[in-house]
Amino acid sequence: MNFIIPFAGAVLGNIMTPKIIEMKQRLCTYMEYPKIRINTLTDSIQGQAIFTFLVKKLKNMKAEENIFLSSVNICNANIAGNIEMCVVPQKSFEYIEYYYYSLISFGIKIIDGNSQVNFVYEIYGNYYQTPLESIIKEYEDVFYRMEKNILAIPIFRFEETWIFDPLSTSTISNGNLSSFKQQEVISYVFENICSIKSILLYGNLHYSKKQTSYFIGEKLRRKIYITNNLLRPGNFIDSIRKVPPDSIILIKYIDDVFPKGITQYNVNADTILGLFDFLAKNVLVIFITNKLDEYQKIPHLFNETRIQKIFG
């Protein structure tokens, strides 16, 4: 039997039924159960999986079940790439599954954070491992699965750190880059992934370059990290250092922020040359641009240790 119980708001104390009070007393002993913590900032997909699980539970609750809920809010949330207006849990929210109405078999409590991107969860209960593994696997299986020509992509975007921000994108291209050309790019990368560090895709604004990058991620089953081009050079390089092995770094239109000359405040040609020295193992860098000539001005950028192939 499942219960969702928040420990927030003193007003609840005066309106709880005896059964809820008894349940609350039992919950006070939850620290005796085996438990782990999951921090969404460091375990992004696991944290997002738990958040999505809780949102679905709240969505399926009957009106009379959530009448007393106080540690929830209504807002837009990113659920596996889809932005939805929904009821979401807040700090102190707690979800519990009981075994024979007494022992807690599985519990989730939000113990810190103020949004889905930085919630810290405490997972506990006598049998928490199996349901937790199931929640994470079900969430991971959503990505790179085609549904009605929509593909969910595991995207990360850099703010002060890498934030998991999944994206859903249409697989139908209205651009000029034909499916034949896309397949040429994807096949090249797949066949040479052990020996290449970077490729560059160029063309006009409607050339389906981002979409091709997503298809490469699908083929390689890799997470995609989209850089913040407005960082200072040192911070930009630091973000590159934090991308884990076996990933894709997507650098979009960085030529638009190249300064006139080299300064310490903007990403520049030296930044682009230097980033290759800080890549983790098996990281592929994909540049997409409208202005190939801006890159061609950078000496030593196109060689076997940096950008090895241009598609346009």
pLDDT number for residue 68: 47
pLDDT number for residue 182: 84
**Strand pairing of 82-89 and 150-153?**
unpaired
pLDDT tens per residue across span 106-135: 999 999 999 999 999 999 998 899 999 999
Query: Tokens at residue 135, please?
Result: 């929640």
The single residue listed with the structure tokens 């651009």 is 175
pLDDT tens per residue across span 14-31: 344 555 545 555 555 555
Q: Whole-model pTM? A: 0.83
pLDDT number for residue 14: 36
Residue 167 lies in a domain: yes
Residue 145 lies in a domain: no
Residue 168 lies in a domain: yes
pLDDT number for residue 26: 54
Q: Please tell me the distance from the alpha carbon of residue 128 to that of residue 97, in angstroms, as a whole number.
A: 10
pLDDT number for residue 19: 54
Number of domains in the chain: 2
Q: Are 112 and 120 in contact (CB under 8 A)?
A: yes
Beta partners for 35?
124
- Residue that is last in its domain, among 91, 106, 140: 140
Whether residues 54 and 162 fall in one domain: no
Blockwise average pLDDT, block size 10, the chain, 312 residues: 46 43 53 88 95 92 55 90 91 87 86 95 93 96 86 92 90 59 90 94 81 91 94 94 96 82 79 94 95 88 93 88
pLDDT number for residue 11: 32
Q: Please tell me the distance from the alpha carbon of residue 170 to that of residue 191, in angstroms, as a whole number.
A: 25
In terms of Cβ atoms closer than 10 Å to its own Cβ (0-12, 13-18, 19+), residue 256 is exposed
Query: Tokens at residue 112, please?
Result: 């810190």
Which residues are within 8 A (CB) of 18 and not within 5 positions of it... i.e. 6 or more apart? none
- Residue that is last in its domain, among 140, 163, 179: 140
Whether residues 237 and 265 fall in one domain: yes
Whether residues 75 and 12 fall in one domain: yes
Residue 146 lies in a domain: no
Residue 195 lies in a domain: yes
Whether residues 305 and 190 fall in one domain: yes
Q: What is the 3-class SS of 208-253, one letter each residue?
A: CHHHHHHHHHHHHCCCEEECCCCCCHHHHHHHHHCCCCCCEEEEEC
pLDDT number for residue 206: 66
Beta partners for 308?
none
pLDDT number for residue 143: 93
Find the domain containing 48 and state its range.
2-140
